Amino acid sequence: MVRANRQTPSLFGEEVEPPAEVTPAPPGLYAKVALNRPVPTEFTYDVPERFRERIAVGSRVAVFFGRRRQVGVVVALDERTDVARGKLKALSELLDDEPLVREELLDLTRWIAERYASSWGEALAAILPAALKRESQSKRVLVVRAATDVGKEQLQELEENFPKQHRLLRTLLDLEGRIELRDVLRNLNLSDSPARTLEKRGWVVIEKVAAEVDGLDSARPSERVRPEHLSPHQEAALGALEGALQDGEYRGFLLEGVTGSGKTEVYLRCIETALAQGKSAIVLVPEISLTPQTVGWFRSRFGEVAVLHSRMTDAQRLVMWMRLQKGEVRVVVGARSAIFAPLSELGVVVVDEEHEPSFKQGSVPRYHARDVALERCRRSKAVCILGSATPSLESWHAAASGELTTLSLPERVGGGTFPSMHVVDMRLERERGKGPPLFSRLLRTFLKETVADGEQAIFFVNRRGFIPVLWCRGCEETIRCDQCSMAMTFHKRIAKLVCHGCCEERAVPAACPACTRPGLTFLGFGSEGVERTLRETWPELRVRRMDSDTMRRREDYEEALSAFGRGEIDVLVGTQMIAKGLDFPRVTLVGILAPDQSLSLPDFRASERTFQLIAQVAGRAGRASLPGRIVIQTSVPDHPTLKLAAKGDFRAFAEHELRDRFALGYPPATRLVRILLEGPDEKLVQATGAELHERLVAALRTTTLELRGPEVAPISLLRKRFRYEIIVVSPPDDPGLPHAVATARDFAAKQNRVRVGVDVDPMSLL
């Protein structure tokens, strides 16, 4: 294989030096192929006679790269090549009769590669995962369950010497059923070797089964009436959107409205209009709100709606892809990656809850689906609607500066009232000789009243586990994981300390491992602790916990929500997971137990995230005719974010926060690139960081970009890897920024002992 020779100037890779004596291959047909490899270039192959009729730009092909056969996408065809005759290989197979990736998406993936520092092939892989990675499609998935006669005895046997097998078997025994193998391994941060060992011992059963029809695919149209009249605010918003659709030009809108203000109804109407014009639509929602109910709303209005989400099998994705490509389905609802749906004549893209961090992909290419949505709409002359009750400050600022048009829905439709807010100062709740209790007197009183009236409550906690910190009075240290620089959390049910960074477990030490002083103190609380205290204090309460320990499968999540909806649960305790979700008319009390923890995170978005979480959880209460009450328990009641959140005053918060961001040089005043260097050898990580820093300085001499670091990252050790970071701070439109990104990416592609990750517009600096 040979590096492609580029015709267009590009930020990709460095130019290839011509070999000393070149005998260019004779005229013929040559394909440039983008492969899913972290090398920022494409590769040229000879197209054999038998494929010449059918091959096209956008077709998938199989090629040999080294000794391995890989699937890639043809991104250019040329009759000539400068590549030397002897170095060319021929394409092995042409996999599509018609090009699978059309020009629009090819261009968009190229943009993604440049903006988010990946190779073109990696960006293509993000939109066609399975099809690009393999030649054949499998309709089967691996599922795993505990064998029938396995139990405590086997667990005990594993506990001492085989902690990984123990963790897996324990989890499977808890699940009482099967789970997709890759899901449980990912959850527990395990390779598949413990699973295979357990299988050999006959303790777990791994089977290949036909991929189940997903719950969402069978989602029925749910009875959502089409209101006869829109409210005046809805009317005004829809009018603006329809006007833009009529013009057939790109327009971006920020639709600001609290939960229940009728945003979804506006989306639905706007899509109706687009469809009537013969156009198509994409609706992006956070993965977790992609419930059968949401999907049902769209199905009841538009008949056939394609659903795209991360749990689909590769084969299901490909089938859906082809149907969209052929125009058989015109509306797509999905999580992040649905922004790449191959629809033609795109009319409108909705990004609901646009502020959600989950729209940012955590692995390469680290794209932000909202920003990709805006770019795709710009290229397709479509209308983009960003909807939220608490817009991201990026979007808020874009609206203020005229890049987006703001539309507001300031009131709840259908008469729902706003809940009353109560901020409780937990410093005043301490009992003599003890720390603050879990529940304030006010919250206890409200809970009793709520349950007595046959209504429901939601308690929100930031962390999972029983107690997040085990602290030594002697050396004032917390117990940390050996592999990660993170405090370990005590999980009472399994009576162990768990690291939330790497999932490793260990026994609770009797004395401080550092200073050997006995008497470690437990500090703080997590969701498991709240659940247990509720059960102990009020045994008659029906309590259910929702966090990633109890909700390992999507079915568990849906089952818990529907039990809650049927009134079989009095109090739902949970983490982030419960902040979003369905409309529960009988929820009248929301307890927000420790917003302080998220406020104090060392991240410039800490206040924004806390405000959003409070607004979102608060939005769960009093959605129907019953009035809701929100209790915020804090030891910093005067914190401006909490005060504004308690007032529900997003605008004031946004102004306050923007002033801070501009003063400190954080987005949206600037754009950031975070370069994370990780490796087992700290010296080498440091030296690599210094080398990259030098390269960047040289590349950016003439720009106004600022470099911070290399310095130790906030999580300095994770899974036995030392972490350093460099942060590039750039004015928003600085032409030097793409240059910095390309420099870092090319540098990253050449490292092998230090992993260099380039995150453009990072959502978190932790």
The footprint of ligand ADP (CB under 6 A) covers 224, 227, 229-231, 234, 257, 259-265, 413-414
Q: Rounded to an integer, what distance in angstroms lies between the CA atom of residue 728 and that of residue 711?
A: 12
Q: Rounded to an integer, what distance in angstroms lies between the CA atom of residue 304 and that of residue 330?
A: 8
Backbone torsions φ then ψ of 474, nearest 5 degrees: -65, -65
From Zn ion, ligand ADP, none, which one binds at residue 230 (CB under 5 to 8 Å depending on kind)? ligand ADP
C-alpha 218: how far from its chain's center?
Answer: 24
From Zn ion, ligand ADP, none, which one binds at residue 668 (CB under 5 to 8 Å depending on kind)? none
Q: Which residues contact 252 (CB under 8 A, 6 or more apart)?
A: 374, 377, 383, 384, 386, 398, 403, 404, 405
Q: Which residues contact 734 (CB under 8 A, 6 or more apart)?
A: 671, 703, 704, 705
CB of 580 to ligand ADP, least distance (A): 11
Q: Of the listed pieces 269-277, 403-411, 419-427, 496-504, which binds Zn ion according to CB under 5 A?
A: 496-504
Is residue 421 within 8 A of residue 630, CB to CB? The reply is: yes
Is residue 338 within 8 A of residue 290, CB to CB? The reply is: no
Residue with smaller CB distance to Zn ion, 489 or 633 = 489
Reduced to 3 states, what is the DSSP secondary structure of residue 722?
strand
**Among 101, 335, 374, 481, interactor with Zn ion by CB under 5 A:** 481
CB of 266 to ligand ADP, least distance (A): 7
Q: Rounded to an integer, what distance in angstroms lies between the CA atom of residue 281 and that of residue 305?
A: 10
CB of 235 to ligand ADP, least distance (A): 9
CB of 274 to ligand ADP, least distance (A): 17
Q: Rounded to an integer, what distance in angstroms lies between the CA atom of residue 761 and that of residue 766?
A: 13
From ligand ADP, Zn ion, none, which one binds at residue 575 (CB under 5 to 8 Å depending on kind)? none
CB of 348 to ligand ADP, least distance (A): 16
501-530 positions binding Zn ion, by CB under 5 A: 501-502
Q: Rounded to an integer, what distance in angstroms lies between the CA atom of residue 552 and that of residue 124?
A: 29
Cβ count near 89 (within 10 Å): 14
From ligand ADP, Zn ion, none, which one binds at residue 263 (CB under 5 to 8 Å depending on kind)? ligand ADP
From ligand ADP, Zn ion, none, which one binds at residue 224 (CB under 5 to 8 Å depending on kind)? ligand ADP
CB of 581 to ligand ADP, least distance (A): 12
Residue with smaller CB distance to Zn ion, 262 or 501 = 501
CB of 282 to ligand ADP, least distance (A): 17
**Among 4, 254, 484, 677, interactor with Zn ion by CB under 5 A:** 484
From Zn ion, ligand ADP, none, which one binds at residue 248 (CB under 5 to 8 Å depending on kind)? none
Q: Rounded to an integer, what distance in angstroms lies between the CA atom of residue 635 and that of residue 600?
A: 12
Residue with smaller CB distance to Zn ion, 504 or 531 = 504
Q: Rounded to an integer, what distance in angstroms lies between the CA atom of residue 592 and that of residue 590?
A: 6
Residue with smaller CB distance to Zn ion, 526 or 565 = 526
Residue with smaller CB distance to Zn ion, 624 or 715 = 715
CB of 261 to ligand ADP, least distance (A): 4
The pairing of strands 543-546 and 43-46 is unpaired
Q: Choose among 157, 152, 381, 352: nearest CA to 257.
A: 352
Residue with smaller CB distance to ligand ADP, 440 or 588 = 588
Residue with smaller CB distance to Zn ion, 236 or 502 = 502
Residue with smaller CB distance to ligand ADP, 231 or 633 = 231
Contact status: 245 vs Zn ion (CB under 5 A): no
Residue with smaller CB distance to Zn ion, 271 or 484 = 484
How far is the CA of 540 from the CAs of 326, 529, 531, 535, 599, in angstroms?
A: 56, 17, 13, 8, 34
Binding site for Zn ion (CB under 5 A): 481, 483-484, 499, 501-502
